[in-house]
Each structure stands twice: as C-alpha cells, then as structure tokens.
Amino acid sequence: MGIDPGTNYMGYGVLEIEGRTLRPVVLGDIDLHRIADPYAKLRYILERVGALVDTYRPQEVALESPFFGENVQSMLKLGRAQGVAMAAALSRGLDVFEYAPMRIKQSITGRGSAAKEQVAAIVCRTLAVERPPKRLDATDGMAVALCHYFTTSGPMNALLGNDRVKGLGGGKKAASKGGSQSWEQFLKKHPDREIK
C-alpha cells in the first residue's frame, strides 16, 4: 500500500503483485479539506488509514516522506499527517517504508522533477487504469506503492536480503553489509580519517 500524505487530501493506492504481474486493487484519496480542527483531522486520518489497512490487508505500507520547504508550519502539519498514517499501519504490525518525493517521481518517470500529471499518466498506463481518479493525490499514492515495488524487487534487493532502511529516502541500505552502521565501523577501523 502506498500513501501520499496530505492535509487536504491524502492519496492512497493498493497494489497486488503476483510474480511480475501488477494489479491495482484500489486508488483513492481521503478528503480532509472540510475538517477545520487540526486534531479532528489527525483523528480522521488515523481512523481512515486504519480502516483501509483492515480492509485491504497490505503486507507493507510505503509513504512519501515530507519534503523540506520554506514554510515550516506547512511542513509540520504534513509531518503530523504522515506520522499518524504511519502509526495506523505500525499499530497493525506492518512494516513501514519512506521514499523522498524526488525518488518516487524518478522511479515512475525517470525524472525527479516530473509534474504530477506526468506521474499520473505513467501510473495509469503502467497499471492499465482505464478511468483515472478525479484527483492526482490518488495516483500519487499509487506511485508510492509502485516506487516501493520497483525498489524492493530490483536486483540489489536479492543481494541485500530483507535488510531495509526505514529512514528518509527509504528503500534498501547501502550495498555494504553494515548498512547505516558502516560509518561508525569505518571510523573504528580508520580513526585517522576522522576530521576533528
């Protein structure tokens, strides 16, 4: 399941995978723009994402990580929405993964700066979606699911096993066996390389 967090609309998509065959189960969005109270909005996100997880029973949930913009308040609101969606999945025992917006666009279109309309067109063409959803948030949610599939089904996935990064940018750890601990290990082996 892929989720594109938002404070007005939160897009989602559930992808079914059989071998190399991909099938869209559902594309949609959670309409939040009429809820004025920010805490009521967060409660609604928790309930709706939880209900989606209970209904479609995905094995994993991937989310778009918040992008760093100049408007700190918008970023904070978006981060809260993402955190609540994440908590809904985690509370049901699912693994959660994050992908940066540019990485998602690049995995779908080949360009990290692609427009939402281009992402939507390629998602619909890739999955043979005949009637595109009304809002692009839904195709953005499915793009996150596709990005996660492309990342985890690639040849590097087989080499690295199931040792996945759950931090910003998502996907797999670096090709080193130690992954995120490799820098600390490197400094232990080469103390002369640390700049103090």
Q: Quote the distance between the C-alpha of residue 174 and its chain's center.
A: 19
* Cα 117 from Cα 128, distance rounded (Å): 16
DSSP 14-69: EEEEETTEEEEEEEEEEE-TT--SHHHHHHHHHHHHHHHHHHH--SEEEEEPPP--
**Phi and psi angles of residue 21, each rounded to the nearest 5 degrees, phi first:** -90, 130
* Residue positions annotated with a catalytic role: 4, 64, 137
